[in-house]
Amino acid sequence: MRDLPAPFSERMKRLLGNEFDAFIDSFSEPPVRGIRINTLKITKERFTALCPWRTEQAETLEEGLVLLDEAEHIGLHPYHAAGLFYVQEPSAMSVIAAADVAPGMRVLDLCAAPGGKSGGLAARLNGEGLLVSNEIVKKRAVQLARNLERLGVVNSIVSCAHPDAIAGALGGYFDRVIVDAPCSGEGMFRKDETAIDEWSPEHIAACAVRQSAILDSAANCVIQGGKLIYSTCTFSEEENERTVEAFIKRHPEFELEFAHRLYPHRLKGEGHFVARLVKRGDPASPAIAPAKSKPCAKRCTKSEEVLALEFLEPVFGFQAVEAVRGKLMTMNGRAYYLPFAAPDAALSLPIVSLGVEVGEFAGNRFKPSHSLFMAAHSFKSKFALELGLNSPELAAYLRGETVICPDIAQMKGYCPVTIDGFPIGFAKIVDGVAKNHLPKGLTVNRIC
């Protein structure tokens, strides 16, 4: 690894004292990698039984594991395509634990891309309540939505809005607001040397200004009795303790519950800062202001709902139809399943993704979506095309090719394609041939 900037080393020596040498020595070690088990789809016990890599328990999160193997191209493994895990640096998982999320809560992840923390928060919600995951950059918001889709999250809205817009639309609405703020990235030095090139005292000062502005917007989103979680992957006091102290001076209604630092010489991870603040006051029902613009989604018409339900019944059965009935909305010609109550103010934001995309209306036809089948942990299908983990049929499917299997001669119609019982996509079976419906952007030419 390249030499660290001298001003950075001087700062850290003042901060760490006799721990400084151990901190510097940690930079000669390889970066630590981890995975977070997606408990929306699989239990920790079953995942550890299936896991092809050596791991140990992460210190930061119960469902987190530290990878002990190199695990090259881990993102190409079929279990990753199935959404059974998310590759996440172990110290970053501490934010999920600090959020203390429970099913039924209303949660806002204000700077959410690429989606690791949102996925962990969604797993803690376990399909109940509402998660709004926001990313101001549209391209990153699209990637965020794709990651939540892979993880099978059903109760989320992915928005692409300025924090001020969310504060204006949903003031005092959320039980938890998470701000994993853009920062100078000192905790990235070990795994990304470009962070060293970008480091400067001026960059730190600019980040602190931006972080303060985001926190001011976030403060308006927290309900009385709710909590605000602030985190960075940097070590500078200006972006961490001083930013929190200045925030409390501007917002005396907030009280600091705790703040802690994670260092790479103290645990297996790259380093993080996490603070949790509570908004004083007795918990109260949120008072949502009327939407300032027309909601982007609307309830399905009766004929649209009938068309969607007529597709769902032969694939997923009557129980799924009854679960979905009355909870379908349309946006841009597509049907979405919303198992949560969303105020019009939330639906008036710039929306990238909404609940579960069930499919697309095409005249009198209904075309199902990949998202529907990735959420099949909620909707159990009548039958599935199970492919072996190391089979040529699985490799062909992930390349986007048609699959021919002798044992599907009696199957007909749409069904999920699964590995070890977990969906990785879907196909339409016609005359013993499985026509591939894996989105082109998800195909891979090799698997790990």
Q: What is the pLDDT of residue 404?
A: 87
Q: What is the pLDDT of residue 431?
A: 86
Q: What is the pLDDT of residue 294?
A: 87
Distance, CA of 308 to CA of 327 (rounded, Å) = 11
pLDDT band at 360 (very low <50, low <70, confident <90, very high): very high
Token digits of residue 202:
């001026």
Amino acid found at 185: G
Distance, CA of 31 to CA of 8 (rounded, Å) = 19
State mean pLDDT over 73-99. 97
Amino acid found at 384: A
Q: What is the pLDDT of residues 125-142, one digit of tens each?
A: 999 999 999 999 999 999
Model confidence at 287: pLDDT above 90: no
State mean pLDDT over 284-290. 74
Q: What is the pLDDT of residue 319?
A: 84
pLDDT band at 73 (very low <50, low <70, confident <90, very high): very high
**Going by C-beta distance under 8 Å and a sequence separation of 6 or more, which residues neighbour residue 153?**
40, 118, 119, 122, 131, 375
The answer to whether the Cα torsion of 59, 184, 211, 167 is positive or negative is: negative
Q: What is the pLDDT of residue 13?
A: 97
| 26 within 8 A of 235, measured Cβ to Cβ | no
Lowest mean pLDDT among 3-7, 37-41, 284-288, 341-345: 284-288
Task: Give percent above pLDDT 70 in the chain.
Answer: 100
Q: What is the pLDDT of residue 127?
A: 94
Catalytic-residue membership of 111:
no
State mean pLDDT over 105-133. 97
Amino acid found at 358: V
Q: What is the pLDDT of residue 283?
A: 80
Model confidence at 177: pLDDT above 70: yes
Q: What is the pLDDT of residue 154?
A: 95
Q: What is the pLDDT of residues 13-46, one digit of tens each?
A: 999 999 999 999 999 999 999 999 999 999 999 9
Q: Report residue 405 CA to chain centroid gap.
A: 34
Distance, CA of 34 to CA of 59 (rounded, Å) = 11
Distances (CA, A) of 384 to 411, 416, 418: 9, 5, 7
Distance, CA of 334 to CA of 306 (rounded, Å) = 14
Distance, CA of 418 to CA of 152 (rounded, Å) = 14
Q: What is the pLDDT of residue 1?
A: 63
State mean pLDDT over 348-373. 94
Question: Which one from 183, 207, 221, 233 is the annotated catalytic residue?
Answer: 233
Model confidence at 355: pLDDT above 80: yes
State mean pLDDT over 241-253. 98
| 108 within 8 A of 135, measured Cβ to Cβ | no
Model confidence at 408: pLDDT above 80: no
